Amino acid sequence: MKWLSGTADADYGDDRGYMVTNPSGVGCRRSGIDIAKQILKEAILQHFDIETLHLVSSHAFKIADLGCSVGPNTFSVVENIIESISIKLQYNGYDFDKFEFQVFFNDHVFNDFNTLFKSLPVDKTYYAAGVPGSFHGRLFPKSSIHFIHSSYALQWLSRVPKEILDKDSPAFNKGKIFFSTSPKKVELAYSAQFAEDMACFLNSRALELVSGGLMTLLFPSTTLNCKNRMTAAIDMFGDVLLDIASKGKISEELVDSFNMPQYFPSPEELKLLIESDGNFSIQKMEPIVRPLTTEINVKSIVLHFRAAWQGMLKDHFGGDIMDEAFEQFYNKMVESAIWTDSSYQRSGELFLVLKRKFV
C-alpha cells in the first residue's frame, strides 16, 4: 500500500476542495470545472452589463477568485472569465485593448501563496494580487470588485458547530464525524452553521461588489433525503476512525471531538439564504450535469481524499495513524456498495449566477 502515502505531504489547505465534492472518479473536480467553464461563459455573455459598471470611464476591471487554492484551476477559470468578458466587450463595440484586468486570488492565510505566485502563467493578461483571509468576512474595500467567482469552496464551514462537540447537548455527534447518518439535531446544527456562514459571505460580498456586478458560484450540493456517495464515503471514514479507536491507538473522545467542517446545501436551502440576504438577484441556478464515467478508480479517489483531508486530520489526530486510516478507508471503499448500488446519488453540483442589486 505504498501508494497511499504518495500524498503524505500534501497540505490540507492547498487543495482542500479537491474531490471531496466529487468522489466518483479521477479528475472529476477538473471535469466539473470544465463543464462550468462553458456555463460561466454563457452567464457572462448573457448577464454581464458593461455600461452599468462604469467601466467605460475607468477601463479597469477587477475580478476576485475566492478559495483559489494554489492553481492551476484558478488560472484557467480566470482566463475563461477574461476571455468571456472580451467577447462581450467586442460584441458591444468596445475596444478590448483599452481595458486592464486586475485579479485578486483569495484563500485562507495558510494557503500556499508562494506556490500560487510562482505558478502564475507567464503570458497572463492581468495584474495579479493575492489576498489572504476568510471569505466569511470582508476582504476588499467597498464597491471595488466587478466580478467574483468561487469554485468548490463555500461548502467549507468557518467552524464545526459548537453544539455537536458538546457532550451535554442533544446535538452531540457521538461516534460520527458527519451529519448524514446522525440524528436530525446534528444536521440542523450543521445547516444553521452553513446559514450563518453564508449570511456573512453574502453580506461581505454585497459591500465589495459594485452595483450590477456578477458573482458566479460553483457549489457541491445534495438533494434532500437521498443517499449520496460523497456523504457515504465521509461516514465510512468515520467508521475507520472508530475502528482505530477500538484498538486503543486513539481515544474515542478524540474521534467524538472531530467533525468534518463541510456542508452540502440543497438548491432550495441556498435559494432561501440568498433571498433572505436580499442583496443579490438570482440570475441562474442550475445543476451541472457531468458525463458518467464507466470506470471507478477507488485508489485515485482515496488518494484525492487523502490530499484534501490529511492536513486537517493530522492537526487533530497527529500523523501516526494516517497510513493505517487511509489503508482501512481504501479497503472499506473497495468493498462498498456505493459504487454499484444505483440508489446512491452521485454528488450534485450547482452553478449559481448572482447579480448585485442596485443600491
- By CB under 8 A, name the binding residues for its own copies: 58-60, 100-102, 104, 109-110, 112-114, 117-118, 120, 127-133, 138-144
DSSP secondary structure letters along 308-344: HHHHHHHHHH-STTHHHHHHHHHHHHHH-STTT-TTE
Q: Which is nearer to its own copies, 132 or 287 (CB)?
A: 132
Q: Which is nearer to its own copies, 139 or 189 (CB)?
A: 139
| 8 A C-beta contact, residue 68 and residue 106 | yes
Closest separation in Å from C-beta 129 to its own copies: 4
Alpha-carbon gap, residue 277 to 77, rounded angstroms: 27
User: How many C-beta atoms lie closer than 10 Å to residue 178's C-beta?
Assistant: 25
C-alpha cell of residue 52: 452599468
Query: Mapping DSSP to helix (H, G, I), strand (E, B) and coil, where does residue 214 land?
Result: strand
Q: Which is nearer to its own copies, 67 or 265 (CB)?
A: 67
Alpha-carbon gap, residue 182 to 187, rounded angstroms: 7
Closest separation in Å from C-beta 127 to its own copies: 6
Alpha-carbon gap, residue 167 to 162, rounded angstroms: 10
Q: Which is nearer to its own copies, 45 or 109 (CB)?
A: 109
Closest separation in Å from C-beta 55 to its own copies: 12
Q: Which is nearer to its own copies, 35 or 207 (CB)?
A: 207
Q: Which is nearer to its own copies, 94 or 339 (CB)?
A: 94
Instruction: DSSP letter for 176, please.
Output: -
User: How many C-beta atoms lie closer than 10 Å to residue 257's C-beta?
Assistant: 15
C-alpha cell of residue 59: 477601463
Instruction: DSSP letter for 357, please.
Output: P
CA dihedral 235, 261, 312, 228 (to 10 degrees): 30
Closest separation in Å from C-beta 146 to its own copies: 12
Q: Which is nearer to its own copies, 99 or 264 (CB)?
A: 99
Closest separation in Å from C-beta 149 to its own copies: 17
Closest separation in Å from C-beta 130 to its own copies: 4
| Cα R_g (the chain), whole angstroms | 21
First to last CA, the chain: 58
Closest separation in Å from C-beta 312 to its own copies: 18
262: buried, middle or exposed (CB in 10 Å: 19+, 13-18, 0-12)?
buried
Q: Which is nearer to its own copies, 102 or 158 (CB)?
A: 102
**How far, in Å, are 18, 132, 307 from residue 9 at the CA level?**
15, 22, 8
C-alpha cell of residue 343: 440508489
Q: Which is nearer to its own copies, 145 or 250 (CB)?
A: 145
Closest separation in Å from C-beta 213 to its own copies: 15
Closest separation in Å from C-beta 122 to its own copies: 11
